[in-house]
Structure 1
Amino acid sequence: MITTLFYDGSFEGILTAVFEIYARKLKHVKLLPNGTYSGAMFTDELTIITDDNRARRVLQGLTRKIASAGVQRLYAAHLAEILEEDNPIVGYMRYVFDNDKNIEDDYGNRYVLRISEIVRMVRREKHRMEAFIRFKKLKDETFYATVDPDFNVLPLILKHFRKRYADQKWIIYDTRRAFGLYYDLHQVEYITLDFSEEGVGKSIVSKYESDEGIYQVLWKEYFKSVNIGSRKNNKLHLRHVPKRYWKNLTEKL
């Protein structure tokens, strides 16, 4: 009998689900977000209420059995937000707890292999965001950029941009997921913007610095000057800079 576990979609929810699996001695489970139809005829169903204390206990148990980098890989895999791919995370965690040896390099296990594949995709997207983000200056001296990544990588790029642009205020906004990062010269906060007609987000475009258009032209001209026409390789260029990123790149507008 399969037990379907419904959870809130958070990483803490996954950790709480793992706690419940062991507390209730569940064997075969399937994890689904709240509001999802399981589609199974013969199944028990259980709604997981995220519990920070239980999640913390599972997290502490993981850190005793695998390296902190291994736990970070599980979190990165969760940020992929691929439908039903949190199940391999649960399988991975159970494999950790059910073995005395360290299993992080056991790629013969399907869960270890799948987590490795997902993390590779997420990290590739992270590196692309770090390279492709283009800021525009607002009148209040804040630098603003929009992104539309395939995976939820904003939590993973936070450290990079806080370190690289520590001397200026900035906002990086994920338009697909409707939240962003705001750095005020002291700390980074998660924010949401209202893009309704009266909302703050709607007026951001009108708040660009008057010289911003000049800077964008100079940026485009710079890219033209460094490109050597005789060595142009469109196929290679598209491999490194896929078209889906062009709408947020100043030099492509």
Structure 2
Amino acid sequence: MKKVQGQNYLYDGSFIGFLSALHFILTEDRTPLSIQSAKDARELLFTGSSFLPADTGKARTIWKSLEEKGKEKARLVYFAYLSESTDIELLIYRYTYLLFKYSETDRTEKLNRLTRHLEILEQRVSREKQQLEKSLNFVQLEDGLLSVQICPHHNVLPLISKFYRNRYGHRNWLISDSKRNYSLLSRNGIIEMVAGEASILTKNRSVKSLKGQNAESNSGTRALVVPGKGGADYGSEKARGSYNAIRTAI
């Protein structure tokens, strides 16, 4: 098959959408000029770019292939993606292309450089995740809902969901990311991804302080379907769909 050079690819902004695009690009032996969320690159919609739809089966296949290379490598890709670093999709493509092309004993210096770069991003995301697990101060609304609004540098909200689910059990709580305009809402132990900020959902309610408690992180990395850059009103999963179902999508 002749290698296709210099194509711009768009995906729906979700992590499953990105993995689906990655699967297509790798299996079809394409060389992308760029890989971007469609919401971040509307101008490319009219310049001959290709939109690659989300496909859970393809996403699951590429994720499984990453895990077969080592679960730490799958974690590296996920955490680096959540960093929302400039051109992170293209960097991850280059990393996975070399990772699948060469064996561990034949690693190239280019792959080593990419690995080190992604590891730096992973560490930044991990540090912010741990900080938020230790520092959030919730307020309790009159109906008992625990609420807090955050504005993290990285898209770490999916990573802290398990920690707070374990801490509060079946208590109802809401953590809102004002920068990305989406929230995690837990009611009776069921977690949903909700478009919009906590200020909208808690408007005109009385609140009282509720100090957050320090605890060690035990979050996993299975919350794989997350909103991409720009908000939660798009993606391959409905924003108000069951977050428990989202967590098991891959």
CA distance in 1, matches of 2:198, 2:171: 24
Indicate yes or no: 2:23 matched with 1:19: yes
Superposition RMSD on alpha carbons, in Å? 2.9
Residue 207 of structure 1 corresponds to 206
* Contact 1:31–1:87 (8 Å) recurs in 2: yes
CA distance in 2, matches of 1:26, 1:173: 38
Residue 176 of structure 1 corresponds to 179
Residue 87 of structure 1 corresponds to 90
* Contact 1:3–1:28 (8 Å) recurs in 2: yes
| Percentage of pairs with the same residue | 25
1:34-55 per-residue CA deviation (whole Å, 9 max, x = no partner) reads 25246xxxx9732212222222
Indicate yes or no: 2:6 matched with 1:2: yes
Q: Secondary structure at the match of 1:177?
A: coil
Residue 234 of structure 1 corresponds to none
- 1:54-203 to structure 2, matched below 5 A, reads 54-64=58-68, 66-101=69-104, 109-166=112-169, 168-193=171-196, 200-203=201-204
Q: Secondary structure at the match of 1:27?
A: strand
TM-score normalised by structure 2 residue count:
0.70
CA distance in 1, matches of 2:158, 2:120: 19
TM-score normalised by structure 1 residue count:
0.69
* Contact 1:92–1:112 (8 Å) recurs in 2: yes
- The higher relative CO (CA closer than 8 Å, separation ≥ 6) is in 2
Cα gap change, 1:115 to 1:142, in 2 (>3 Å): same
Cα gap change, 1:108 to 1:10, in 2 (>3 Å): same
Q: Secondary structure at the match of 1:59?
A: helix
Q: CA deviation at 1:137?
A: 1.1
CA distance in 2, matches of 1:60, 1:101: 18
5+ residue gaps, structure 1: 220-253
Q: Secondary structure at the match of 2:30?
A: coil
Aligned residue pairs, count: 203
5+ residue gaps, structure 2: 212-250
- Which structure dedicates a bigger proportion of its chain to helix? 1
The amino acid across from 2:123 in the alignment is R
CA distance in 1, matches of 2:120, 2:19: 21
Of 16-25 and 137-146, the range deviating more from structure 2: 16-25
* Contact 2:170–2:189 (8 Å) recurs in 1: no
The amino acid across from 1:207 in the alignment is S
- Which structure dedicates a bigger proportion of its chain to strand? 2
